[in-house]
């Protein structure tokens, strides 16, 4: 985690790319889309820790249908800004066999972590796996997974806020920011 002065400097130099009002509207829209597709199915919602905590918390209050909740903790980033090998910290505790699963994550970047999670759930017997992300990053390269529900699309820059961190800080921001400069890992 950054020291408070460095954290504040990063925030002050960052650009707001998705204001809080747009965040709220995107979450509401995604909740409506999910309800249309899964509202009569009692899905198992699996939040991807730690970035999806904020998005999941806001999203769940808008879903007006019964669901089960669990989480997974798989990461490539730790507190850095570039991905590495996937580390499985916690796998879902709920039995996914025959279930409709909705994986909720903060961002679809390169897609390797979400692809690994999806594949793991399918191998464990999930009947269907749907993916909801708050942000999808615009990348030139093809991704190994696609999201079924997307809140906002962001440019190919390092973004933080609304669950996403910058070197361990600022997950708690109500808006999404792009870092002004490349950040060291």
What is the number of structural domains in the chain? 1
pLDDT higher than 60, residue 133: yes
Q: For position 165, which CATH number holds? A: 3.40.50.2020
Per-residue pLDDT tens digits for 57-90: 999 999 999 999 999 998 766 555 555 677 888 8
How far, in Å, CA of 55 to CA of 147, rounded? 15
Beta strand 159-160 pairing with 176-178: antiparallel
> Which residues in the chain belong to E strands, given as ranges?
15-18, 44-48, 68-75, 87-90, 100-108, 128-137, 149-154, 159-160, 176-178
Please check whether residue 183 lies inside any domain of the structure.
no
Please check whether residue 181 lies inside any domain of the structure.
no
CB distance 34 to 149 below 8 Å: yes
Please check whether residue 127 lies inside any domain of the structure.
yes
Please check whether residue 182 lies inside any domain of the structure.
no
Please check whether residue 66 lies inside any domain of the structure.
yes
Please check whether residue 185 lies inside any domain of the structure.
no
How confident is the model over 174-179, as a mean pLDDT? 97
Tokens of 23: 């965040």
Full domain range(s) for residue 41? 4-176
How far, in Å, CA of 147 to CA of 111, rounded? 9
pTM score: 0.91
How far, in Å, CA of 88 to CA of 144, rounded? 18
Please check whether residue 20 lies inside any domain of the structure.
yes
């Amino acid at each position: 985690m950054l020291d408070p002065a460095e954290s504040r400097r990063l925030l002050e130099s960052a650009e707001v790319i998705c204001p809080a009002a747009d965040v709220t509207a995107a979450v509401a829209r995604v909740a409506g889309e999910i309800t249309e597709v899964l509202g009569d199915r009692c899905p198992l919602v699996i939040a991807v820790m730690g970035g999806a905590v904020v998005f999941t918390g806001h999203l769940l209050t808008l879903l007006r249908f019964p669901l089960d909740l669990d989480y997974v903790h798989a990461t490539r980033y730790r507190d850095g800004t570039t991905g590495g090998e996937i580390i499985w910290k916690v796998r879902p505790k709920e039995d996914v066999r025959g279930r409709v699963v909705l994986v909720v994550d903060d961002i679809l970047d390169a897609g390797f972590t979400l692809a690994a999670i999806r594949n793991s759930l399918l191998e464990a017997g999930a009947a269907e796996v749907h993916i909801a992300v708050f942000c999808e990053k615009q990348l030139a390269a093809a991704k190994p997974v696609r999201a079924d529900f997307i809140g906002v699309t962001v440019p190919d820059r390092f973004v933080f806020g609304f669950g996403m961190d910058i070197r361990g800080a600022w997950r708690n921001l109500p808006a999404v920011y792009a870092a002004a400069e490349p950040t060291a890992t």
